[in-house]
């Protein structure tokens, strides 16, 4: 059994939006919906960053809503 922490999902809208996964390999799942295409990027990593779980990591200000 593994202890798992899942970070909240992030929705990016518009062209040119990007988010860094710090070189974590991703699984990209393309979906076709009635509203148009959607790409889901899943990034998994083992261990912790600086002793914090992913859900405790702060969100960079560039990605926070005003």
Residue 16 lies in a domain: no
Residue 1 lies in a domain: no
Q: Which of 54, 56, 64 is nearest to 22 (CA)?
A: 54
Residue 30 lies in a domain: yes
Domain hosting 45: range is 26-63
Structure confidence at residue 10 as a pLDDT band (50, 70, 90): confident
Residue 48 lies in a domain: yes
Residue 41 lies in a domain: yes
Torsion of CA 12, 18, 24, 26, to 10 degrees: 50
Q: What is the pLDDT of residues 21-59, one digit of tens each?
A: 667 788 889 999 999 998 888 877 776 655 555 555 566
Q: 59 Cβ partners below 8 Å, 6+ apart? A: none
Neighbour count for residue 4 (Cβ, 10 Å): 8
Burial 7-28 (b: 16+ CB within 10 A, else e): eeeeeeeeeeeeeeeeeeeeee
- Write down the pTM of the prediction: 0.47
pLDDT at residue 18, rounded to an integer: 74
Residue 13 lies in a domain: no
């Amino acid at each position: 059994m593994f202890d798992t922490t899942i970070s909240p999902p992030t929705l990016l809208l518009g062209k040119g939006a990007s988010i860094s996964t710090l070189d974590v390999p991703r699984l990209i799942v393309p979906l076709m919906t009635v509203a148009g295409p959607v790409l889901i990027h899943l990034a998994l990593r083992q261990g912790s960053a600086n002793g914090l779980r992913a859900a405790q990591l702060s969100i960079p200000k560039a990605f926070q809503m005003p």
